[in-house]
Amino acid sequence: MNRELIVRSSSQAVDFALLKDGKLTELHKEESSNDFSVGDIFLAKIRKPVTGLNAAFVNVGYEKDAFLHYHDLGPQLSSMLKFIKQVSSGKLKDYSLKNFPVETDIDKNGVITDVIKANQSLLVQIVKEPISTKGPRISSELSIAGRFLVMVPFSDRVSVSQKIESKEEKDRLKRLVRSIKPKGFGVIIRTVAEGQKVAELDKDLENLLNKWSAMCKKLYRAQTPSKVFVELNRASSILRDVFNDSYTGIHVDDITLYNEVKDYVAEIAPDKESIVKHYDSNVPIFEKFGIERQIKTSFGRTATMSKGAYLIIEHTEALHVVDVNSGNRSNKAKNQEDTALEVNLLAASEIARQLRLRDMGGIIVVDFIDMVKPQHRKRLFEHLRDEMKDDRAKHKILPPSKFGLIQITRQRVRPEMNIKTTEEDPNNAGKEVEAPIVLIDKITVDLEKLLKGPAKDNSITLNIHPFIAAYITKGFPSLRTKWFLEYKRWVKIQPRDAYTYLEYCFKNKDGKTIY
């Protein structure tokens, strides 16, 4: 399995596309104006504790106050408040915490007004970016993520990712980390640490300690609110979280960003430095790797799948609804139950991809095609669960209900990726139509049905707008030539001036419309 990261840079933003065997699985955008990214740490000021919510509104510099719930304060809040006070005043210059006296943990089920007060300074970390009309969600239980480890100050706990299944490996990693862990810091061992040697873990931990010290230096006489720790840029954070030995290429079209990525890869995986390549061509990088086309066909209300099946994706304020449709599917399955199972399994794979691609969060309800056999419903549930194993966002999947619905909850930490796929209608000013590139996919699907269906026509003519006709016939190999190589049938193209931009139909040798 080949995995590639494609990075496109512009003056306003940087786009990151993750490809798995050439198929787009994740799309991220880092805007230069985003000052409140997940992982950033701020020295903030408590604006107002609210007893009724058992939470506080906190000024982090955003237009709307951030929300801090009591359960997000962290048990070591008292220790952190004492540390901030001493460092900010200059009384404490040793940031290692090895000689820092730890305070008693706060009550797990306490009241927020008992532990923090208005106008108090507090270190907080962004855990959820501003979405819609809401300000950022924050936590004062800090964590600094590295390649293999996550460091948690004012703690002493060592825990291991649940995705590491081997008990022996868990015990080995815990033993190694406890031998190198500095006093006053807890450590979470990440999934990618599996199989790593103590030297690699120690190097990662030392890097995290340096970041902690650099952050603490900024606290001295710092104004509130102010950012004291910046999470890695999105390219490096994506590499940190998803990079593994299966990656075969990282392509970057900006020379400065290329050097940054190359240096980071050289640091975390020296043997993979050669896969980082600078893309320098007149053809835009997203078009070269087929990403632009996939964006046009993957976003929007309708998401197409193979052989005519498709998804309808609707968004509301409270939840997302996905409807699975078989379409006019030509299928050799013996009965309706087998067809439903085949379409549902295909849809489950596409839904798992769509959730990551659009970064959909909250509650997702999927209406699969009804299946009678319990073993089929069980197989569908297990398949969906397996397909979502690569999803880094926390999620939970419930088994199919009596109505054939599957409910999914998925963590949302950033605004959902929403890309406009419609374009201005050249035949009707002020109105919009789906992108022409989507039209080509629809024509190809319809053509396959005609050429592979039970009633095969020996002669097929495609009547279409002259602009689209030119797109299909020009170039080498042209799209029509590709159709011939695929289906071993030649399709005649008849330009029609009277047709609107996206209008088309298929006719037989007698001139009768057949589709």
For residue 58, tell me if it sits in a domain: yes
Judge if 381 and 454 occupy the same domain: no
Report residue 409's pLDDT band, with 50, 70 and 90 as the boundaries. Answer: very high
What single letter denotes the amino acid at residue 253?
D
Give the per-residue pLDDT at 265.
83
Residue with tokens 């097929």: 460
Same domain, 25 and 48: no
Give pLDDT tens digits for 291-349: 888 887 777 788 878 767 888 998 877 789 999 988 765 555 557 888 888 899 999 99
Task: Say whether pLDDT at 173 is over 90.
Answer: yes
Could you please report the per-residue DSSP string of 88-146? Answer: HHTS----S-SSPPPPPPPPTT--GGGT--TT-EEEEEEEE--BTTB--EEESS--EE-
Q: Is residue 28 part of a domain?
A: yes
pLDDT, tens digit (0-9, with 9 covering 90-100), for 130-153: 877 788 889 999 999 888 899 999
User: Measured between alpha carbons, how far is 232 from 236 in angstroms, rounded to an integer?
Assistant: 6
pLDDT at 277 over 60: yes
Which residue has better confidence, 500 or 161?
161
Instruction: Tell me, yes or no, whether 105 lies in a domain.
Output: yes
φ and ψ at 119, to 5 degrees?
A: 70, 10
Q: Are residues 50 and 133 in the same domain?
A: yes
Question: Strand, coil or helix: what is 261?
Answer: helix
Instruction: Look at residue 62 and tell me if it is in a domain.
Output: yes
Q: Judge if 147 and 117 occupy the same domain.
A: yes
Kindly state whether residues 28 and 48 are assigned to the same domain.
Answer: no
At CA 412, angle to CA 407 and CA 415, rounded to 5?
125
Q: Are 356 and 338 part of one and the same domain?
A: yes
- For tokens 């992108």, name the residue: 435
- The reply to whether 397 and 339 lie within a common domain is yes
Residues 268 and 138 in one domain: no
For residue 295, tell me if it sits in a domain.
no
| 107 within a domain of the structure (yes/no) | yes
- Which residues are within 8 A (CB) of 430 and not within 5 positions of it... i.e. 6 or more apart? none
User: For residue 291, what are the contacts with CB-CB under 8 A and spacing of at least 6?
Assistant: 6, 17, 19, 24, 285
The tens digit of pLDDT for each residue in 3-62 reads 888 988 876 678 888 898 888 888 887 765 567 778 889 999 998 899 889 999 999 988
What is the pLDDT of the chain when averaged over all its residues?
A: 84
Task: Answer whether residue 177 shows pLDDT above 70.
Answer: yes
Supply the DSSP symbol for 316. Answer: -
Check whether 176 has a pLDDT greater than 90: yes
Q: What is the DSSP string of 32-60?
A: TT----TT-EEEEEEEEEETTTTEEEEES
Look at residue 416 and tell me whether its pLDDT is greater than 70.
no
Q: Which domain holds residue 356?
A: 300-410
Q: Give the pLDDT band of residue 368 (cuts 50, 70, 90).
A: very high
Within a domain: 290 = no
Q: Which bin fits 407, alpha (ψ -120 to 50), beta or left (φ > 0)? A: beta
The percent of residues in the chain predicted with pLDDT above 90, rounded, is 21
- Please give the average per-residue pLDDT across 483-489, as a whole number: 84
Q: For residues 399 and 406, is the Cβ–Cβ distance under 8 A?
A: yes
- Give the residue ranges of DSSP H helices in 335-474: 336-358, 374-387, 436-452, 466-473
Neighbours of 184 (CB within 10 A): 19
Task: Give the DSSP H or E segment for 288.
Answer: helix 285-288
Q: How confident is the model at residue 500 (pLDDT cuts 50, 70, 90)?
A: confident
Give the distance between the most distant pair of CA atoms in the chain. 93
Residues 232-256 pLDDT 10s = 666 677 777 667 667 888 998 888 8
Is the pLDDT at 453 greater than 80? The verdict is no
Is the pLDDT score of 414 beyond 70?
Answer: no
Q: Are both 155 and 223 inside the same structural domain?
A: yes
Say how far apart CA 482 and CA 331 lie, in whole Å: 23
- Spatial contact of 82 and 102, defined as CB atoms under 8 Å apart: no
- Bridge partners, residue 323, by sequence: 312, 367
Structure confidence at residue 152 (pLDDT):
92
Give the per-residue pLDDT at 418. 65
363 located within any domain:
yes
Tell me, rounded to whole angstroms, the distance of Cα 55 from its chain centroid.
29
Nearest to 218 by CA among 209, 227, 206: 227
Helix-, strand-, coil-residue percentages of the chain, each rounded to 5: 35, 25, 40
Q: Residue 88 maps to which CATH number?
A: 2.40.50.140
- DSSP E strands in 129-238: the ranges are 137-139, 144-145, 149-153, 158-160, 185-189, 226-229
For residue 421, which amino acid is it? T
Clarify whether residues 149 and 247 are in a common domain.
no
pLDDT band at 413 (very low <50, low <70, confident <90, very high): low
139 in the same domain as 274: no
Let me know whether 87 and 221 are in one domain: yes
Q: Which long-range contacts (CB under 8 A, 24 or more apart) does 95-99 make?
A: 95/212, 95/213, 95/216, 95/217, 96/182, 96/183, 96/184, 96/209, 96/213, 97/153, 97/154, 97/182, 97/183, 97/184, 97/185, 98/182, 98/183, 98/184
Average pLDDT of the residues in 166-189:
92
Q: What's the pLDDT at 55? A: 92
Say what the pLDDT of residue 479 is: 86
| Least confident piece of the model among 27-36, 59-68, 444-453 | 27-36
Rounded to whole angstroms, how far apart are CA atoms 180 and 202?
A: 7
How many domains, in total, are found in the chain?
A: 4
**Tell me, what CATH number does 331's domain have?**
3.40.630
